Amino acid sequence: MKERYKLLIIAGVFAAAYWVPWDSGLIRQSGLEAFLMLREYAREHVLTCLVPAFFIAGAIGVFVSQAAVLRYFGAGAGKILSYSVASVSGSVLAVCSCTVLPLFAGIYTRGAGIGPATAFLYSGPAINVLAIVLTARILGWQLGLARAVGAVLFAIITGLLMAFIFRKDDARRATGQIYLPEEEASGRGLGQEALFMLVMVLILVFAAFAKPADGDGGLWGALYQAKWYITALLLAVLGLLLWRWFKAEELREWVDSTWGFMKQIFPLLGAGVLAAGFLLGRPGHPALIPQAWVEASLGGNGLGANLFAAVAGALMYFATLTEIPILQGLLGAGMGQGPALALLLAGPALSLPNLLVIGGVMGWKKTLTFAAIIVAMSTVAGLIYGSLFS
C-alpha cells in the first residue's frame, strides 16, 4: 500500500472520531449495528464458508491453466465451444472485476471475436466462485442459484448480441492468434484433479450445511447432525490426496494463492460489512438510513425499482464480495427480491471505472451497447424473479 493511502486511511479514521456526532442515539445505534453485523459474519460465515471457498479459489488459480481456457476465444474456435467456455470462465479463472480487464484487453486486441470476448468480460467477475457461494449462504440459495444461472445465460446472450450487432466491424478487424504461455504438465490426470476439486467442494457444502427449520427431520436433519463427522472424513481424504498426488512446491503455491485472495478480500469485506451495518443495519434492526427510503426506491417488484437497481449496479463500484452485505442490509430495510437480483447481475461486471477502461479498449459505441444490454437483461430478470419469489 502506498504511503499516501495509509495517510488517507489514518486521516479518515481521525475525522470520523473527531466529527461524527456519537452523542446522537441514532449514530450510536448505527455504530452498534455495524459491529453486531461484523460479529454475525465472523461467527456464521467466515470459518465454515469463506475459508473453504478461499482455498477452492486458490486451487483454481494455481491448478487450472488460464491458457487452456483462453485458447478457445480465438478466431478459429468453434462458436458453441467458444461461448460455452466464455460463459463459465468466471468459475474457472476466479477473477474479480479488476483482474478481468487486462485479460479481456489481451484476448480482444490479439484476435478474439467480440462475442466470446464480451461473454468472457461479463462472466469473469459475475460467476466468481466466492461470490456465488457467499450469496447462497447469506442471501438464500434461491438468490444464489438465480445469480449463477442468470450470469451464465447473460454471458452467452450478451456475447451473441454483441457479435450480431457488430458483425461487420468484427469482420473488418484484423484477426490474429492469441499469444498464450506454454502449459506445464502437472503429472496428474483430469480425473485426479476433478476428484481433488470435488472433495474441497464437498467440504465447503458440509461445513456450511445450515440447520433445518424446526420440525424438519428426515435426511436433511440426519445430514446436519452428522455434518462435522462427514467434514472430518472429507478433510482426511483431502490430506491423503495432497500427500499422494501433489508436490511440496505446488502446495506452497496453493497456500500463497489462497493467502493472496484472503489478504485482498478480507479487509474489503470487513469494511463493507461495517459500512452496510452502519448505514442499513441488520435485517429487522434500523440504522442510519430510514427503511422508508429504501422501500420507496427499491421496494416491491415494479419496473422502476428493478431498473433503478440495475442502473445503480452498473454505475457503482463494489469491491469483491462487498455487494453481499450491502444487499443484506437493503433486503432487511425493504428492498424487493427482484431488484436485489437485478443489482447482483448488473453490478459485478460493470462500474463507472470499468466502463472507462472498456471504452478505451473497444470504443464507446460498443461499450455503451454492452452496458445497455446488461442493464436491460438485469431489469427483465429482476421482474421475472420478483414475480416468482416476492
Rounded to a whole number of angstroms, the distance between the first and last alpha carbons of the chain is: 44
> Cell digits for 51?
475459508
Alpha-carbon span 149 to 206, nearest angstrom: 22
Instruction: Indicate the pLDDT class of residue 207, thresholds 50, 70 and 90.
Output: confident
Q: What is the largest CA-CA distance in the chain?
A: 66
pTM of the entire predicted model: 0.65
- Total count of domains within the chain: 1
Residue 178 lies in a domain: no
Given a cut of 90, is residue 179 above it in pLDDT?
no
- How confident is the model at residue 284, as a pLDDT? 67
The highest-confidence range among 185-199, 233-247, 269-283, by mean pLDDT, is 233-247
- How confident is the model at residue 217, as a pLDDT? 61
Average pLDDT of the segment spanning 18-38 = 86
Higher local confidence (pLDDT), 217 or 299: 299
Instruction: Indicate the pLDDT class of residue 26, thresholds 50, 70 and 90.
Output: confident
Residue 69 lies in a domain: yes
Q: Are 349 and 124 in contact (CB under 8 A)?
A: yes
- How confident is the model at residue 116, as a pLDDT? 83
Question: Closest by alpha carbon to 261, among 38, 59, 37?
Answer: 59
Q: Which residues of 270-295 are buried (b: 16+ CB within 10 A; e: fewer)?
A: bebbbbbbbbbbbeebbbbbebeebe
Residue 17 lies in a domain: no
Residue 132 lies in a domain: yes
Given a cut of 70, is residue 134 above it in pLDDT?
yes
Given a cut of 70, is residue 259 above it in pLDDT?
yes
**SS3 labels along the chain:** CCHHHHHHHHHHHHHHHHHCCCCCHHHHHHHHHHHHHHHHHHHHHHHHHHHHHHHHHHHHHHHCCHHHHHHHHCCCCCHHHHHHHHHHHHHHHCCCCCCHHHHHHHHHHCCCCHHHHHHHHHHHHHCCHHHHHHHHHHHCHHHHHHHHHHHHHHHHHHHHHHHHHCHHHHHHCCCCCCCCCCCCCCCCCHHHHHHHHHHHHHHHHHHCCCCCCCCCCHHHHHHHHCHHHHHHHHHHHHHHHHHHHCCHHHHHHHHHHHHHHHHHHHHHHHHHHHHHHHHHCCCCCCCCCCHHHHHHHHCCCCHHHHHHHHHHHHHCCCCCCCHHHHHHHHHHCCCCHHHHHHHHHHCCCCCHHHHHHHHHHHCHHHHHHHHHHHHHHHHHHHHHHHHHHC
Average pLDDT of the segment spanning 50-54 = 79
Given a cut of 70, is residue 337 above it in pLDDT?
yes
Residue 188 lies in a domain: no
pLDDT in tens, 146-166: 988 888 899 899 989 998 898
Residue 256 lies in a domain: no
**Count of CB atoms within 10 A of residue 218's CB?**
8
Alpha-carbon span 272 to 365, nearest angstrom: 33
- How confident is the model at residue 223, as a pLDDT? 80
Handedness of CA 169, 174, 176, 178 (dihedral sign): negative
- How confident is the model at residue 257, as a pLDDT? 83
169 Cβ neighbours under 8 A, 6+ residues apart? 114, 366
Higher local confidence (pLDDT), 323 or 176: 323
Contacts of 205-208 with CB under 8 Å at 24 or more apart are 206/230, 206/231, 206/234, 207/47, 207/48, 207/49, 207/52, 207/231, 208/48, 208/49, 208/52, 208/133, 208/137
Instruction: Indicate the pLDDT class of residue 276, thresholds 50, 70 and 90.
Output: confident
Alpha-carbon span 336 to 345, nearest angstrom: 15
The highest-confidence range among 17-31, 248-262, 366-380, by mean pLDDT, is 366-380
- How confident is the model at residue 36, as a pLDDT? 87
Given a cut of 70, is residue 94 above it in pLDDT?
no
Alpha carbon distances (Å) from 277 to 31, 226, 274, 344, 348: 8, 34, 5, 19, 21
Residue 226 lies in a domain: no
Instruction: Indicate the pLDDT class of residue 376, thresholds 50, 70 and 90.
Output: very high
Instruction: Name the least confident of 4-8, 117-121, 208-212, 359-363.
Output: 208-212
Average pLDDT of the segment spanning 112-125 = 81
Given a cut of 90, is residue 81 above it in pLDDT?
no
Percent pLDDT > 90 in the chain is 11
Handedness of CA 37, 59, 260, 321 (dihedral sign): negative
Residue that is written with C-alpha cell 444490454 in the block: 373
Instruction: Name the least confident of 35-44, 64-73, 132-141.
Output: 64-73
Residue that is written with C-alpha cell 454505475 in the block: 315
Question: Closest by alpha carbon to 306, among 380, 368, 370, 373?
Answer: 380
How much is the CA Rg of the chain, to the nearest whole Å? 22
Alpha-carbon span 263 to 382, nearest angstrom: 33
Given a cut of 60, is residue 182 above it in pLDDT?
no
- How confident is the model at residue 214, as a pLDDT? 59
Average pLDDT of the segment spanning 175-186 = 55
Residue ranges making up the domain that contains 119:
23-173+268-389
Q: Are 294 and 279 in contact (CB under 8 A)?
A: no
Higher local confidence (pLDDT), 67 or 189: 189
Residue 363 lies in a domain: yes
